[in-house]
């Protein structure tokens, strides 16, 4: 399937269609100096940057207007994403109010959310600035959160976006396979991470998260699991599990996978039963939760299936969520497949929708090291399908 | 001068010293999922990322505490930037309130600012979340903007930071010199930008702003000047000025320079008087404004000197500010050397301080193309000094 020529225009069109469902007449993304942080919702609808104070305005009538500083105007014109481009030199307020007065929106959506960082791009200072710009206008009383709109816009992937995610997964899988062939006793976690970095460089892709923690690499039972950096002192020995958590950004879309290998001890001709059982349980927990997924189910329900299996098998409960959305970012915000902990409040009880992309990830400790897997799935009308090629057995290092 | 071993610890120590001057007992930077945008103030004091809700707390007593999710804790420990690291599994609120109750701050600074995007990293959603976390505590009434603190912390560069900025400038200047030797008639703006990109790749540095507009390249009078992308259709011909706006990020610090060349027409043995005059006026405007700079002068006063010279020489007034701060970012926020336009409100009347780094940049149109220069200066106790090697004459393409 050919990728859409202009992915951002595709998302603008999707936003226009979504506005009525979210009871909004107008959606405004306010931006300035994206160098200091670009609103993650803006990245969906505009591929460039802004320097001066800007407003990206989409209405339920189908208008899509970018009001930007003069110095930013050429850049946005060249991109051909927004239909109407207005620019200003000295004062933003007057043209901004003219647009509002033209459309007279009753309900205006802005980018803030307590729960979803991907829908929370409006800074508190810009919020205050907007309050001052709208002083003495009726619009100051017509502001609502656009979080549900952004959640859907971001979460329901277009065919073009799904293609890009698959391409990103394929790229990560190729790098993983290649590194797998190079694993040998004596390598440190840092050495292994450098093999991944070399693979990314060759394929001209970047790490899907903080470069020094992507990949995460864990060799053996002493290694710490989490968002930490691979250690030069943690060495791959016989009898160790190698666990990696890795993804790439390719063409602006992310992948996020966990894989495991086992380096046999002298004379071992199969994986120790403890490790084999751990792999089986983790794999089953992912499979069972995937089988449960379909549009309408809730995040905590999906998480519960995997979590209960792990507990029933006698392992300690994993201290994170089973899954998160993936898109332009590895952690794409929105829905979390997570338990009813305060930390996941409001993100784990949103009905899944066709077009959502999630990770399914968990792991258990063993005496050979941490055994964790992470797959990626796409919610479809009648269930879900794996976008990653699920790891079916622990890989043996030869 | 050797660069400090840990630049972030250096900034934490600086923040502790600055707190009393800004009437704050405690400065809190709240963060989550830096993948969707990292608070630019956090980048000064912490080199890593966070996934879960986190608080980076610095007190006037010298305490510096990071409260982070368990999965982020190892990453932050390895960096050795914060003295105290606390972590949580399920609920952020309780340990957060315990820290507040331990120090009982009367005045708490948070990262929001109407004027300074580099001091405005707190999202509106996180502001609301904080309001809910602090409900029924006295601290909800003790919140103030930390913008002036952040402005100084960011704006007053440490010796280690100045070294890094100089290194970044030197790198950009080397690339510019090298590309200058390769300029020939028939190259497009896009071709020229690719020469810069090749130079950056060789030196393993990244563009100082949006990659497709860094460098900006303008060949001849038809080219559009601003934050636009170099065009494949705009070709360097005889009689053209080549103007570039370019900088790199090296070791986390930025440079930002503008330079000009002239490609003579057949038989021309010197630069046309119109172009020579334009260069002289622009150069003089930068020189005169630099000579005026010292601690205590205000941004709009500096801008006025250059702006008036341009107007007096009969050129159209430049439609931007004369200068901005440079540091980790090319546009580093804080003080703007800009006119009294609404757009620059509150940023152009802050007294300059020793240790500030600024650009001085402006240009004028000519019939051969846009002639713009940009230099970088460091404010010192008794004036300022150029960190860039100022362009003294227009360079001739041979």
State pLDDT tens for residues B51-81. Answer: 889 999 999 999 999 999 988 898 889 888 9
Q: In the prediction, which pLDDT does A6 show?
A: 76
**pLDDT number for residue B394:** 97
Give B 308-327 residues with CB within 8 A of chain A: 319-320
CA-based nearest distance A118→chain B, Å: 6
Give tens-digit pLDDT for A167-217.
999 999 999 999 999 999 999 999 999 999 999 999 999 999 987 889 999
Question: ipTM of this model?
Answer: 0.85
Measured between CA atoms, how close is A394 to chain B, in angstroms? 24
**Higher local confidence (pLDDT), A326 or B7:** A326
pLDDT band with cut points at 50, 70 and 90 for residue A138 = very high
The 3-state secondary structure of B54-81 reads: EEEEEECCCCEEEEEEHHHHHHHHHHCC
**Across all residues in chain B, what is the average pLDDT?**
94
Look at phi and psi of residue A220 and say left if phi exceeds 0, alpha if psi is from -120 to 50, else beta: left
- Among A33, A114, A228, the residue with its CB nearest the CB of B331 is A33
pLDDT in tens, B279-310: 999 999 999 999 999 999 999 999 999 999 99
Nearest to A121 among B123, B128, B226 (CB): B123
Q: What percent of chain A has pLDDT over 90?
A: 83
| A227, A228, A342: residue with CB nearest B90 | A342
Instruction: Measure A64 CA to nearest chain B CA, in Å.
Output: 21
230-269 in B: which are within 8 Å (CB) of A?
A: none
With an 8 Å Cβ cutoff, are B35 and A227 in contact? no
| Residue of A28, A39, A42, A123 best to disrupt the B interface, most CBs of B under 10 A | A123
Whether A93 and chain B come into contact, CB under 8 Å, resolves to yes
Are A172 and A178 in contact by the 8 Å Cβ rule? The answer is no
Mean pLDDT of chain A: 94
Interface contact B95, partner A, CB < 8 A = no
- Given this model, what pLDDT does residue B342 score? 85
| Over residues A59-67, mean pLDDT | 97
Q: Which two tokens stand for residue A312?
A: 């029933």
Note the pLDDT of residue A150: 96
The per-residue pLDDT for A71 is 83
- Which candidate from B33, B112, B333 shows the least CB-CB separation from A36? B333
Q: A123 to chain B nearest CA, in Å?
A: 4
Residue range A56-65: average pLDDT? 97
In angstroms, what separates the C-alpha of B97 from chain A's closest C-alpha? Answer: 15
Q: Is the pLDDT of residue B3 over 70?
A: no
Residues from chain A contacting residue B125 (CB–CB below 8 Å) = 112-117, 119-120, 122, 147
* Residue A189 contacts B, CB cutoff 8 Å: no
* Residue A103, C-beta contacts closer than 8 angstroms, at least 6 positions apart: A25, A26, A59, A61, A63
pLDDT for A345: 83
The verdict on a CB contact (< 8 Å) between A343 and B92 is yes
pLDDT of residue A235 exceeding 60: yes
Compute the distance between CA of residue A357 and CA of residue A155 in angstroms, rounded to an integer.
7
Residue A253 gets the label, from left (phi > 0), alpha (psi -120 to 50) or beta, of beta
Q: Residue B203 pLDDT more than 90?
A: yes
Query: 3-state class of A74 per DSSP?
Result: helix
How many angstroms separate the CA atoms of A263 and A394, rounded? 10
Distance between CA B88 and CA B86 in Å, rounded? 7
* Stronger pLDDT, A344 or B64, i.e. the higher one: B64
Return the pLDDT at B227: 56
Residue in chain B closest to A207 (alpha carbons) equals: B35
To test the contact with chain A by mutation, choose from B32, B33, B36 the residue with the greatest count of A C-beta atoms within 10 A, namely B36
pLDDT of residue A7: 83
Across the interface, do A91 and B341 touch by the CB < 8 Å criterion? yes
Q: Quick check: B217 pLDDT over 70?
A: yes
Domains and CATH numbers, chain B: 7-154 (3.40.350.10), 156-396 (3.90.230.10)
Q: CB-based contact (8 Å) between B213 and chain A?
A: yes
Q: Is the pLDDT of residue B228 over 80?
A: no
Contact A329/B121, CB-based, under 8 Å?
no
pLDDT of residue A169: 98
pLDDT at B1: 35
Contact A112 B89 (CB under 8 A): no
Question: What DSSP line would sit under A288-357, residue for residue?
Answer: HHHHH--TT-BHHHHHHHHHHHHHHTTPPPPSS-SEEB-SSSSS--S-EE--S-GGGTTTSSSBP-TT-E
Give the count of Cβ contacts less than 8 A between chain A and B: 199
pLDDT at B31: 95
């Amino acid at each position: 399937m050919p990728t859409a020529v202009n992915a951002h225009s595709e998302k603008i069109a999707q936003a226009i269609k979504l506005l009525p469902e979210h009871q909004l007449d107008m959606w405004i993304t306010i931006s300035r100096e994206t160098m200091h942080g670009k609103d993650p919702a803006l990245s969906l609808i505009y591929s460039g940057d802004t320097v001066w104070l800007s407003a990206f305005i989409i209405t339920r009538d189908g208008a899509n207007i970018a009001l930007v500083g003069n110095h930013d105007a050429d850049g946005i014109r060249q991109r051909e994403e927004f239909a109407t481009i207005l620019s200003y030199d000295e004062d933003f307020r007057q043209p901004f109010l003219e647009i509002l007065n033209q459309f007279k929106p009753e309900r205006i959506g802005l980018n803030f959310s307590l729960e979803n960082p991907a829908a929370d791009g409006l800074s508190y200072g810009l919020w205050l600035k907007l309050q001052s710009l709208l002083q003495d206008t009726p619009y100051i009383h017509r502001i609502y959160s656009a979080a549900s709109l952004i959640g859907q816009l971001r979460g329901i992937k277009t065919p073009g976006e799904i293609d890009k995610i698959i391409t990103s997964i394929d790229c990560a899988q190729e790098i993983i396979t290649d590194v797998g062939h190079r694993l040998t006793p004596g390598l440190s976690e840092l050495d292994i991470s450098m093999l991944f970095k070399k693979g990314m460089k060759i394929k001209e892709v970047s790490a899907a998260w903080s470069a020094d923690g992507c990949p995460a690499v864990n060799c053996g039972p002493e290694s710490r699991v989490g968002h930490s950096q691979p250690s030069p002192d943690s060495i791959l020995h016989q009898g160790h599990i190698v666990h990696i958590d890795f993804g790439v950004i390719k063409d602006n879309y992310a992948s996020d996978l966990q894989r495991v290998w086992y380096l046999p001890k002298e004379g071992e001709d199969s994986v120790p039963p403890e490790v084999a059982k751990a792999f089986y349980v983790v794999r089953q927990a992912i499979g069972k939760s995937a089988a449960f997924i379909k549009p309408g189910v809730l995040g905590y329900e999906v998480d519960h299936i995997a979590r209960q299996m792990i507990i029933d098998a006698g392992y300690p409960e994993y201290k994170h969520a089973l899954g998160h959305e993936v898109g332009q970012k590895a952690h794409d915000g929105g829905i979390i497949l997570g338990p009813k902990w305060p930390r996941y409040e409001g993100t784990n009880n949103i009905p899944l929708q066709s077009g959502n992309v999630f990770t399914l990830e968990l792991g258990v400790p063993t005496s050979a090291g941490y055994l964790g897997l992470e797959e990626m799935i796409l919610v479809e009308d009648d269930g879900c399908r794996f976008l990653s090629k699920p790891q079916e057995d622990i890989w043996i290092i030869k």
